Amino acid sequence: MARLGHRGFLGIAVLFHLIYIYSIFDIYFVSPIVRGMRSHAVDAPEAPAKRLVLYVGDGLRADKAFQYFPDPSRSPNDTSAQQPGPLAPYLRSRVLEHGTFGVSHTRVPTESRPGHVALIAGLYEDVAAVTTGWKMNPVNFDSVFNRSRHTWSWGSPDILPMFSTGAVPGRVTSATYGHEFEDFSKDALELDYWVFDRVKQLFKDAESDAELNAQLRQDKLVFFLHLLGLDTNGHAYRPYSQEYLHNIQIVDQGVKEITELIEKFYGDDQTAFVFTADHGMSDWGSHGDGHPDNTRTPLITWGSGIAKPVTVSNGKAPGHEDQFSHDWHLDHVTRNDVHQADVAALMAYLVGLDFPVNSVGELPLPFLDASDEEKAKALLTNAKEILEMYHVKEREKKATVFQYKPYSGFADAEHSVESRLKAIQRLIDAGDFKKAINQTDELIQLGLRGLRYLQTYAWLFLRTLVTAGYLGWIAFCFTTAIDLHMLEGKIEASRPTAGIIAFSSILVGLFSLLLVQDSPITYYVYAIFPVMFWEEVFARRQALVQGRKKLLSKVGKRDATKLALNAVAYVAMLEVMVQSYYHREIYTISYILAITWPFFYGSEFVKKNTLLCGTWAAACAAMSVFTLLPALKIEDSNLIQVGGFLILMVGVLYIAFEKHLLVKTAPKGNDKAVGIADDGLSRALLGVQVGLVALAMIVTRSSVTSLQAKKGLPLGTQVVGWFTLVASLTVPFLHALRPRDHYLHRLAIIFLAFGPTFIILTISYEGLFYFAIATTLISWVRLEHRIHQKSFGALPSTPNKQNGMPKDLGSPLQPALLAAQARESSSSYRALTLSDARICLFFLFILQSAFFSTGNIASVSSFSLDAVYRLIPIFDPFSQGALLILKLLAPFALVSANLGILTKRLRLRGGSLFAVVMGIGDYLTLRFFWEVRDEGSWLEIGESISMFVIASVLCVFVAGLEALSELLVRGVEFREVVEKVESVKDEVVGQVANETAAVNKTIKANGNGSASGKGGKKRR
């Protein structure tokens, strides 16, 4: 690979990380869908029920469904309403008297599409499927709806179409309301009222429509009611709010009315009812991760084919051992927990349908009102359906995998699937149903483990490949930093024939193996990167050797121990950042310790920079507070206004003292700064930016007041909000009409540009954080510059003189050495040094803390969508998500600008620090790659995925920040550096000329003396 320039390196960085982020989905979360399987149904003369009604309370938490609360529908002043009671008395009566209940445990991602797919199809889509969950993407696999004779469904336009479009044509009838109904600024009860009204209308129409009536009298029918009000109110007001709790009451009343209507219409007691939820809701009003509040949902079943409740008179009934349901007042009723996919198997059994062919759900026998013989036969059919998937997947593996090793559970003839099935059938024929059920359950578990074995068959190979890729990238980053930014590309790459053959053979071998195994195209890409990176590192091994010598040239034996300790501390700091993903409070301790940083350079340094060190200490103290604050934030208009006021005051004070600041920080004798500070257009544009900050405060106050009063979002407020946000991000570009090259002016423009963003899109203390991190960054940049001046001096010193005469006068190499020194001194850039590694570490630290200071990034749910409703009140996940990302990335613009300023101020080449940051940053990525889990609690699984993705995306952000940094600091100059460089250049060049003249004069004098001597001898 040819030596890459700065932009080429940026491109490779982005491409590599985006591709390798996807690797966890190829390794850990492979799609479970396979084709070509036979379907299986329970062989019984009659199904337990003729029809089934599925109620899904979207976003309903299990605890909220069963806990006692004061009546949220009555006035808080009504004393009788303060007595706690059940919010869903009808559903509670089903639990106590008519059916079976439990908790349905979902998997990550806890989003609507994966949840409904698990409930209705019985399979867990791979995690990547969440990206298809918000728009109409058909479910392209089997489902309970697809197996029914006919399904009627009512509800959200985001859920229903994907099941109707993907089913057999004409099999599913859907009725949906418009997207405009999903308005987060208003009470969402209307969404559920709409569904209940349409169901009532269907049965009313059947009274006068003979064809519809006949259709409704058939068997194997499914009615699906998708109730979105709870999810919408949970997002808008939180699941502990009066709105959410009142919505539970509305759902309960609606379920009661629809159940009674259907039972009256049919009058045959042949209807089964299932009430559950697709996912829960965190206290932040969000879902998506594996927090228990998101993964635990209620499951209540009653009607035909459903077992009656099992109760105990004393003590606790089975199922309540985890204490989760201790305050439900249901301890005497047996709680039967299931996996979410089990609900699909239950529904298929109840209506006598074939089990969906991709279902991994296990039939929950405690829910069945059936004999042991019926349970044994039904469970055996369920096992055959799951094992059918295992057979198909195993055939695929055998056909493609080199030297396939079968799953140990079915490895020999005695324990094969066929022999186990025959043994169970013999037990059923002999009437030993209990033992048959136990062995069938064991077989199902073996089958599920076998499916997992086949899905993870290539794990070791892929994880090794990806690890080699990350290690190669880290080595490549450091090699690039040394080659381009320390040795300035002076050492050419060396590629001996043996090396070319070796690396080519490795790549050909990997490709051949992947081809034989019929691997996906992504595997080939994973294989290219490690070979490419390590080949480049090998080719530039001489640069690494020379770079090591240059870096350690001034490190003596006494300094070796100190260097080793510094290296250990460096790695320890990286590990601290890893641990901060689990415990964000670590940043509090880190910032408090950072206060002492300037004191490591001596008390004299602190005295000379008292104000700067004091500012740094105050900024670090402020930053240490944010990670102590709860990640759960409640909307606080006053805190938003305080943050906005601080941002506003920074702008006002800068305009007021702009001339003083620019002149004070300009080099002596530079009158240009005075003229610039008096520029009218530039000051007017700054005034506009400050005005937009003030406007953002006003419009935010207005929108918050209106939304909290449930009056919706006024159109005028929405328009002004959008105008303010867009204008704040575009007005700064007008400064190009009167460009300035002072770094303080540029930083002020950038700070004010994102100020309105941190007012409009925040709900609490985020504006205070924005002010604090800006102060921290400017203090850090100025401190690093002062430390560099103290440690290395402003510029290299001029050549030595002694008594006005050049040293080593007679050396013919001295003029050449002086000329080389002149060239080095006059260069615009300097080489990287060991101390620059500290700057990279600080940059990465501040970048990480920018995430954790306002939330727990390891949990998707810690970021509230409340602020987004001020601009987009209607459900639009991609647009709302884009605004949320804008808010999250806004501080990084400040971080990148300050790094760009620091890079210029220290005379480093653009991208030099970035290459090192990318290398050390991927230490975190690699650590989290090996932490990714697909077993354990769903909280652990979800967090492990989040951490890896965040660490990887952070590296992509760094690449983007580097490009952004070039744009933000373009044109910024530090004239004191340029002028001093030119001065030194003139002085050194003059010195070289004097040295050369003196040498020539001496040589000439010596030559004349020799000639005279020879002539005198001749005359004598």
Output the six-digit token pair for 456.
């993870």
64, two tokens: 């909220």
Calpha distance 890→725 (Å, rounded): 12
Cα 460 from Cα 912, distance rounded (Å): 35
Query: In the predicted model, is pLDDT for residue 993 greater than 60?
Result: no
Question: Residue 528 is encoded by which pair of tokens?
Answer: 């290219």
CA 306 – CA 782 distance, rounded (Å): 72
Q: What is the mean pLDDT of residues 303-310?
A: 97
Burial category of 77 from C-beta neighbours within 10 Å (exposed 0-12, middle 13-18, buried 19 and up): exposed
What are the tens digits of pLDDT across the range 77-133?
776 667 899 999 999 999 999 999 999 999 888 888 889 999 999 998 765 555 554
Give CA angle at 78 (74, 79), nearest 5°: 125
Query: pLDDT averaged over the chain?
Result: 85
| pLDDT surpasses 90 at 631 | no
Using CA atoms, how far apart are residues 226 and 426, in angstroms rounded to an integer?
A: 43
What is residue 981's predicted lDDT score, i.e. its pLDDT?
43
Alpha carbon separation from 847 to 321, 820, 890, 921, 936 (Å, rounded): 43, 39, 12, 10, 30
Closest CA relative to residue 136, chosen from 114, 157, 167, 105: 157
- 1020: which DSSP letter? -
Higher pLDDT, 942 or 724: 724
At 571-606, the pLDDT tens digits run 999 999 999 988 889 999 999 999 999 999 999 999
Q: What mean pLDDT do residues 340-349 have?
A: 97
Q: Are 375 and 368 in contact (CB under 8 A)?
A: yes
pLDDT digits (tens, 9 = 90+) for 272-302: 999 999 999 988 888 887 889 999 999 999 9
Q: pLDDT at residue 822 above 70?
A: no
User: Would you tell me how many other CB atoms lie within 10 Å of the CB of residue 936?
Assistant: 10
How far is 698 from 645, CA to CA, in rounded Å? 11
At residue 224, φ and ψ (nearest 5 deg) are -120, 120
Q: What is the pLDDT of residue 326?
A: 94
Q: Residue 618: what pLDDT?
A: 97
Multiple choice CATH, 50-73+81-297+336-367, 3.40.30.10, 3.40.1280.10, 3.40.720.10, 3.40.710.10: 3.40.720.10
Interior angle at CA 305, CA 301 and CA 307, nearest 5: 60
Confidence of residue 937 (pLDDT cuts 50, 70, 90): low
pLDDT attached to residue 802: 40
- Choose among 328, 359, 381: nearest CA to 101: 328
Query: In 3-state terms, what secondary structure has residue 316?
Result: coil
Instruction: With H, G, I as helix, E, B as strand and everything else as coil, classify residue 877.
Output: helix
Residue 877: its pLDDT value, please? 74
pLDDT of 864: 67
Per-residue pLDDT, averaged over 385-395, amounts to 93
Binning pLDDT at 50, 70 and 90, where does residue 957 land?
confident
Q: What pLDDT is stored for residue 28 in this prediction? A: 74
User: Running DSSP on this structure, what letter comes out for residue 95?
Assistant: I
The reported pLDDT for the residue numbered 814 is 45
Q: How far apart (Å, rounded) are the C-alpha atoms in residues 376 and 378?
A: 6
